[in-house]
Structure 1
Amino acid sequence: MTESAALDPATDADATAAAVGAAAERLHTALVENRPCAPIRDLIGDRDITIAYAVQQQLNAHRLAAGAVVVGRKIGATSVAVQQQLGVDTPDLGVLFDDMEYDVSAPVDISGLLQPKVEGEIAFVLGADLVEGDLDLAQVADAVAYAVAAIEVCDSRIADWDISFADTVADNASAGGYVLGTERRTLADGFVPKDAAMTMTVTGQDDVVGTGAASLGDPLVALQWLARQARDLGDPLRAGQVVLSGALGPMRPAAPGADVTLSIDGLGSVALSFGTKES
């Protein structure tokens, strides 16, 4: 992975703005044309997270302009292994749009994805805004209306998943889509996210196992991180939004014809299948 020097917005604002625009346009073209692109770290460097989020905001502005509606957020890079791979010590966040939720009654059209991978996660649906106050764990937990099992479909616009941290941040945290389970549990019911055991099976691959503790030690800690980061970025979490709180185990590639089943203790099961390119 080749490193490039990060841009300095303090000394070259015009060049930085041009690079941000060029990076967002490269990713947007890949999204619209459904064709992977080269990494964008040649334009913005591989570590400047402020600039990477500026690219993400421009990329997502294209979707908003086309009529997409924000319905939530996702957290990425919550495991130590992924952070070590990317050379960072912090997660990242992306935006969920209304056209990203899949209908489990029909196979996902894999032709609309580039290089999908799946993760098993706990999703939180918020019952209150997370805007004011300290956003401590108690406040964050109180804002959760309920938790459900979720399969996230990650998808990178960067060819061959050749990503640095800045690449994936800029690319909306490699968001693709998701499906939610139907069994809802409140934290008041005694559901403890960090202790929940997960098993995910994908056709032709070894099972993935893990627990809630794989996501920053506790998915509620991940949610707290997200709430604070989203507020710092000027777009805080709101009641009704869905939050994918981070993988409970490794990603698995999703091939045409694959079936995915996720089970999380206390949250039941959810399944997703991928259609072949001919179906």
Structure 2
Amino acid sequence: MHADQVRAIVDRFEADVRNRTRFQLYRIDGRPATLDDAYAIQSEILARALRSGSDSVAGYKVGLTTGKMQQFCGVAEPIGGRILKSNVRASGATIRKSQFHRLGIESELALRVGKEVPALRSDTNVQDLIGCVDAIAAAFEVIDDRDADYAHLEASSIAAENSWNQGIVLGEAASPSDLGDLRGLPGRLLVNGEQSATGSSDDVMNGPLWVLAWVARFAKEAGTPLQPGQWIMTGSIIPTRFAVAGDTYSFELGSLPPVTVTIG
């Protein structure tokens, strides 16, 4: 796509967000958008968000981390998006539902980058990547799918809109030193104190460290390699929960401090 075409698409996206227009699949000159198209659009959205100089990229999110969802959306790998520093919240935050078209929260494990993540080669032991992580936390990803029709989805269209990321809520950070390769951590979502759903950190790709390796490649190919201090959201352990005003959601993951968010 030409740069002026990308700018026109993002102009329309911004208008759609303002007008609460329902999410639509992206078409470029009458054809479905490719992932290359999507990431060009995403980069323009990000550039506009960072234009004032008052914000920065605090990390990355990963979507479509299960084979089932990848097959459903017609891709062979996950999709990525960026997390803005202004959208990072601490556990206990209140999020106003009215500020979103359709607000969803996803229960995840967040990893904080401590040092450069090496390229994953055939002889790389993925467990060694734990040495690149200096903190982990139970977390919620905040998404806005703009009332998308889940019977008709395309990975490229989701990726174009920053893979729907609207921020994160982080639980208290802990050291990963006693948790091995971060697999097998049981997760539990509670709504107003009552258990609602369960899952495991095994449910994302081949485990959280594989996600870290994928994000490192994604960020490098985008020309923005991972930096120490950035957070990586490793994918939803429990299916997306669309938020209800007045509810409080808590996510417990293994022995990590729980993360909580209230919907106002």
Assess same fold via TM > 0.5. yes
Aligned to 1:125: 112
TM-score (norm 2): 0.88
Q: Share of identical aligned residues, percent?
A: 26
| Distance (Å, rounded) in 2 between the aligned partners of 1:49 and 1:216 | 19
| Distance (Å, rounded) in 2 between the aligned partners of 1:30 and 1:204 | 36
Structure 1 residue runs without a partner (length 5+): 1-12
> Are residue 88 (structure 1) and residue 80 (structure 2) matched?
no
| Distance (Å, rounded) in 1 between the aligned partners of 2:16 and 2:240 | 22
Map Cα deviations across residues 177-223 of structure 1 (whole Å, 9 max, x no partner): 2111115132x223442210101123599722111111102011011
Tell me how many residue pairs correspond in the alignment: 258
TM-score (norm 1): 0.83
Cα offset, 1:146, TM superposition: 1.5
Map Cα deviations across residues 120-159 of structure 1 (whole Å, 9 max, x no partner): 11000111133x6557425532210021101111112465
Aligned to 1:36: 21
More strand by share: 2
| Distance (Å, rounded) in 2 between the aligned partners of 1:212 and 1:166 | 25
Q: What is the letter of the counterpart of residue 44 of structure 2? A: Q
Q: Pairwise CA RMSD of aligned residues?
A: 2.4
Map Cα deviations across residues 44-69 of structure 1 (whole Å, 9 max, x no partner): 74351111100000011110013321
Structure 2 residue runs without a partner (length 5+): none
| Distance (Å, rounded) in 2 between the aligned partners of 1:27 and 1:159 | 14
Aligned to 1:272: 261
* Aligned ranges 1:207-246 → 2 under 5 Å: 207-246=196-235
* Aligned ranges 1:1-279 → 2 under 5 Å: 14=2, 17-31=3-17, 33=18, 35-43=20-28, 45-46=31-32, 48-66=34-52, 67-130=54-117, 134=120, 136=124, 137=126, 140-157=129-146, 159=148, 163-186=153-176, 188-202=177-191, 207-275=196-264
| Distance (Å, rounded) in 1 between the aligned partners of 2:13 and 2:194 | 30
Aligned to 1:6: none
